[in-house]
């Protein structure tokens, strides 16, 4: 099977077969039904989504021997000749290679003649934005006074480059990118029609990587058909197109969320060793993080085909704020890799930077604290604290400061843990009541303390002989001091557009 045979063979032949562009096809069908024929149409949209296919179906509907119909019969001679590309009155011009004034002058002369056999002369000009300024001017004259037997259909991926004077004379239709689901279904039906031996997982990967273009998806499937001897596996797809598997990204993300620098460096190295392109790594990574965010937020991704349980678990292991911050840094990385496409060190550094994003489980609280604003909930928790303080006062024998010194002494007696010991000195004991110790911790140390909280609890048990729960609170001052100038916090404020609170 030759390249692009599939695409040609299964090109939609009527409006009902067009995938994902219902908003366009329904409007066109209704216009045709009512005999409202325009003289110039502009089909705008990304590549490979069906613009030229729809243009050809429209040409057939206008010229079908059964009359102007909402869907062509595809059986009459005219329909068949248009499908074959041999119809004299349907002229396809590639704007990219015929972009000069001479071609348009020829066109203008030809336009004057009536169609030889069909009802309308239809000019389909693809990539119309490529025409030169002179060519557009020449074209405009025809568009201003179009002969009644002529219909222009312009297709473009860049409508913003088409002069306004031309745009204003066209009925414009915007084609959209296809969803993964739509592409997947189309591939599934192709596989069935052609008895291609493959599985859902492989088709799913192709659908994801086609970036909304059905033509690309079909092209990839076809390449795989000629590549594999028998069954097409996901391994074939990864090998032929250099796709990086999700499991590699999952490992990298785990490294980042666990702040495990070794795993990160190894993960990147592992991907490079397999011969993957750095840009593919970055591109795939962006898609992966985007997907994680959707999973984390429980937003059912309408474009996705199936739910990956491992991915969901991973997504739920961190906060949405963390993923958003990773996504933000990843977008920067994607922008920068264009300038330094061969730098592995750059990728390493970017990923390590992501691992240094602070844990932002409650970004709103953090931002409010920075700005001195507190939510009702936060106020409540502070109120609670005051109540606890009152309780403490009612227990004359318990001096929390003295108890804290005893705990510190116990810890000082243990070996090592110097780092832990040193920042404990900055911790301020607040209350001790009902076996609960409340500590006021500078936010810069909050995470460290949380990590080593078991050491503290052990020390408490050793000191008092019973289990003690530890509550950590952070005051406004300490947060402000520690984080106000942190570049990462500044970045996060940007992401969440939190300037108004500051
Ligand atoms: Zn027909």
Structural contact between residues 361 and 319, judged by C-beta atoms closer than 8 angstroms: yes
Query: What is the CB-side half-sphere exposure of residue 120 using CA atoms within 13 A?
Result: 26
Distance 242 CA to ligand 1 centre (A): 44
Structural contact between residues 89 and 120, judged by C-beta atoms closer than 8 angstroms: yes
- The helix/strand/coil state of 469 is strand
- Distance CA(307)–CA(291), nearest Å, equals 11
Same domain (yes/no): 205, 219: yes
Same domain (yes/no): 147, 58: yes
Which distant-in-sequence residues (6+ apart) come within 8 Å of 318 by Cβ? 257, 296
325 C-beta neighbours (distance < 10 Å), count: 22
Structural contact between residues 442 and 403, judged by C-beta atoms closer than 8 angstroms: no
The tens digit of pLDDT for each residue in 250-264 reads 999 999 999 999 999
Distance 66 CA to ligand 1 centre (A): 6
- The helix/strand/coil state of 4 is coil
The tens digit of pLDDT for each residue in 84-129 reads 999 999 999 988 888 788 888 888 888 888 888 889 999 999 999 9
Domain assignment present for residue 205? The answer is: yes
Domain assignment present for residue 297? The answer is: yes
Among 216, 241, 266, identify where a domain stops: 241
456 C-beta neighbours (distance < 10 Å), count: 21
Give the residue carrying structure tokens 């007696």: 413
pLDDT tops 70 at residue 477: no
- Distance CA(397)–CA(239), nearest Å, equals 72
Distance 69 CA to ligand 1 centre (A): 9
**Of the candidates 214, 199, 201, 284, which has an alpha carbon nearest to the alpha carbon of residue 45?**
214
Same domain (yes/no): 144, 235: no
Distance 71 CA to ligand 1 centre (A): 9
Same domain (yes/no): 306, 209: no
Averaged pLDDT, 418-438: 79
Same domain (yes/no): 335, 395: no
Among 326, 355, 384, identify where a domain stops: 355
Distance 217 CA to ligand 1 centre (A): 30
Distance 82 CA to ligand 1 centre (A): 9
Distance 75 CA to ligand 1 centre (A): 5
Same domain (yes/no): 318, 378: no
Distance 67 CA to ligand 1 centre (A): 8
Domain assignment present for residue 500? The answer is: no
Distance 178 CA to ligand 1 centre (A): 28
| CATH code, domain carrying 138 | 3.40.50.300
Distance 18 CA to ligand 1 centre (A): 18
Q: 189 pLDDT band (50/70/90 cuts)?
A: very high
| CATH code, domain carrying 189 | 1.10.8.60
Distance 81 CA to ligand 1 centre (A): 10
Distance 29 CA to ligand 1 centre (A): 15
**First vs last Cα of the chain: how many Å apart?**
63
Domain assignment present for residue 87? The answer is: yes
- Distance CA(152)–CA(157), nearest Å, equals 17
Same domain (yes/no): 196, 130: no
Rounded to whole angstroms, what are the CA distances from 208 to 203, 219, 227?
9, 14, 20
Domain assignment present for residue 488? The answer is: no
**Of the candidates 463, 417, 418, which has an alpha carbon nearest to the alpha carbon of residue 437?**
463
Q: Which residue range forms the structural domain that includes residue 402? A: 368-482
The tens digit of pLDDT for each residue in 226-236 reads 888 889 998 89
Distance 324 CA to ligand 1 centre (A): 53
Distance 471 CA to ligand 1 centre (A): 78
And the tokens for 428?
């301020």
Same domain (yes/no): 169, 208: no
pTM beyond 0.75: the answer is no
Distance 33 CA to ligand 1 centre (A): 15
Query: What is the CB-side half-sphere exposure of residue 443 using CA atoms within 13 A?
Result: 24
Domain assignment present for residue 491? The answer is: no
Averaged pLDDT, 178-205: 92
- Distance CA(162)–CA(166), nearest Å, equals 7
Distance 74 CA to ligand 1 centre (A): 5
Distance 3 CA to ligand 1 centre (A): 29
Query: What is the CB-side half-sphere exposure of residue 112 using CA atoms within 13 A?
Result: 6
Same domain (yes/no): 126, 201: no
Averaged pLDDT, 41-56: 95
4 C-beta neighbours (distance < 10 Å), count: 13
Distance 268 CA to ligand 1 centre (A): 57
Q: 502 pLDDT band (50/70/90 cuts)?
A: very low
Highest averaged pLDDT of the listed ranges 253-262, 405-414, 425-434: 253-262
How many domains, in total, are found in the chain?
4
Same domain (yes/no): 111, 193: no
- Amino acid 327: pLDDT: 94
Domain assignment present for residue 363? The answer is: no
Among 308, 329, 355, identify where a domain stops: 355
Same domain (yes/no): 26, 88: yes
Distance 213 CA to ligand 1 centre (A): 28
| CATH code, domain carrying 308 | 1.20.272.10
3-state helix, strand, coil in the chain (%, to 5): 60, 10, 35
Domain assignment present for residue 497? The answer is: no
Distance 60 CA to ligand 1 centre (A): 7
Burial tier of 437 (Cβ tally within 10 Å: 0-12, 13-18, 19+):
buried
Highest averaged pLDDT of the listed ranges 101-105, 170-174, 319-323, 431-435: 170-174
Same domain (yes/no): 24, 83: yes
């Amino acid at each position: 099977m030759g390249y692009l045979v599939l695409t040609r063979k299964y090109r939609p032949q009527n409006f009902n077969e067009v995938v994902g562009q219902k908003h366009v096809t329904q409007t066109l069908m209704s216009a045709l039904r009512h005999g409202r024929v325009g003289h110039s149409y502009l089909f705008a949209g990304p590549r490979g989504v069906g613009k030229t296919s729809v243009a050809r179906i429209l040409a057939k509907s206008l010229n079908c021997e059964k009359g102007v119909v909402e869907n062509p019969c595809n059986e009459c001679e005219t329909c068949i000749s248009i499908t074959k590309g041999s119809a004299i009155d349907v002229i396809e011009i590639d704007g990219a290679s015929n972009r000069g004034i001479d071609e348009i002058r020829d066109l203008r002369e030809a336009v004057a003649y009536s169609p030889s056999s069909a009802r309308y002369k239809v000019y389909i000009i693809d990539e119309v934005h490529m025409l030169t300024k002179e060519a557009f001017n020449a074209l405009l004259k025809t568009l201003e006074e179009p002969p009644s037997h002529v219909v222009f259909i312009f297709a473009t991926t860049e409508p913003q480059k088409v002069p306004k004077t031309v745009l204003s004379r066209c009925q414009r239709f915007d084609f959209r990118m296809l969803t993964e689901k739509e592409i997947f279904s189309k591939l599934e039906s192709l596989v069935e029609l052609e008895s291609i031996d493959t599985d859902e997982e492989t088709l799913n990967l192709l659908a994801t990587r086609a970036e909304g273009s059905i033509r690309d998806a079909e092209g990839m499937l076809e390449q795989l058909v000629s590549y594999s001897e028998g069954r097409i596996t996901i391994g074939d797809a990864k090998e032929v197109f250099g796709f990086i598997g999700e499991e590699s990204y999952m490992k990298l993300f785990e490294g980042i969320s666990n702040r495990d620098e070794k795993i990160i460096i190894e993960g990147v190295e592992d991907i490079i060793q397999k011969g993957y392109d750095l840009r593919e790594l970055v591109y795939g990574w962006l898609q992966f993080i985007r997907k994680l965010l959707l999973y984390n937020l429980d937003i059912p991704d309408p474009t996705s085909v199936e739910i990956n349980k491992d991915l969901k678990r991973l997504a739920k292991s961190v906060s949405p704020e963390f993923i958003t911050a990773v996504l933000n840094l990843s977008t920067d990385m994607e922008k920068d890799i264009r300038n330094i496409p061969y730098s592995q060190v750059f990728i390493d550094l970017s990923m390590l930077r992501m691992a240094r994003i602070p844990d932002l489980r409650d970004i709103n609280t953090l931002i409010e604290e920075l700005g001195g604003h507190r939510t009702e909930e936060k106020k409540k928790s502070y109120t609670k604290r005051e109540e606890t303080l009152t309780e403490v006062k009612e227990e004359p024998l318990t001096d929390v400061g003295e108890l804290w010194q005893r705990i510190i002494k116990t810890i000082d007696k243990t070996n090592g843990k110097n780092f832990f010991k040193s920042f404990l000195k900055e911790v301020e004991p607040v209350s001790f009541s009902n076996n609960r110790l409340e500590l006021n911790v500078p936010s810069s140390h909050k995470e460290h303390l949380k990590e080593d909280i078991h050491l503290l609890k052990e020390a408490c048990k050793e000191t008092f002989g019973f289990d003690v729960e530890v509550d950590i609170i952070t005051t406004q001052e300490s947060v402000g001091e520690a984080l106000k100038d942190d570049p990462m916090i500044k970045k996060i404020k940007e992401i969440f557009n939190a300037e108004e609170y500051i």
